Amino acid sequence: MPLTTSSTREIPETGMIPRHIAIIMDGNGRWAKKRFMPRVAGHKRGVETVRTAIKACVDRGVEYLTLFAFSSENWRRPAEEVTFLMQLFISVLEQEVVKLHENGIRFKVIGDLSKFEPKIVEFICNGEALTASNTRFTLTIAANYGGRWDVMQAVRKMLQQHPELATCFDEKDLMQYFALNYAPEPDLFIRTGGEKRISNFMLWQLAYTELYFTDTLWPDFDAQALNLAIQSYQQRERRFGRTSEQLQMASSTKELQEIAAERVVKFQ
């Protein structure tokens, strides 16, 4: 069954460590340009940063990491850069998926795969099948993905299976058809590279996600940079539409319930 719940319908459980982090990995080209290197060198270095981010998230107890690797608008980039990115994607799939599997990590790709060459689609399908039973951590790569595409494809799938919903449906009917229906909504969104926008990424799922923007370019985003993002998250008051007073009252009630439960256990 899909794990997704809606933060606009239910108040999710939260903790000091975000359960799900979503990242727009921006700044590879500028990182390379600052070093008088071709843009593609920045993309290659960015792959190393992905490895660092995965390890850092696992070490800190994060359960889900979703990375925006290639948007549906990135096809507008220079043809030679797009070609290199596709070749890099194949190389990464060939070299990294087995390592992910050996470390108990589930690998998923979300996005419209119809534009990718069959070899890439085959690698994706094989990688997802190989790692499907892993539960330690879930890495999702968003490739040829767009938030608006996600909403549209979800509506289409829902209506194909349930045409009777064409005149009346709600969030609960639709949510199971989103590409990321196996994961909770992100707790923390990070964008590197200094830009302050979400660029058509997970438009539905980011409704109550905490947003964090940093000037750090993606190839320089290390474990300490992740710590700073998580520290910022820990300072946020996640109200989900409630007042601060309601939040404090709920926290006090929870503490009292936990104390009472401990006493019951001791008594037994």
Catalytic residues: 26, 74
DSSP state of 25: -
CA–CA distances in Å: residue 224 to residues 17, 164, 239, 243: 15, 51, 27, 32
What's the distance, CA 169 to chain centroid?
A: 26
DSSP lists the bridge partners of residue 143 as 70
Tokens of 222: 């290390």
Q: At residue 85, what is the residue type?
A: L
For residue 31, give every residue at least 6 positions away whose Cβ sits within 8 Å of its Cβ, in sequence order, or none. Answer: 42, 45, 46, 217, 218, 219, 220
| Residue type for position 266 | K
Using alpha carbons, select from 179, 186, 199, 181 the residue that is nearest to residue 229: 186
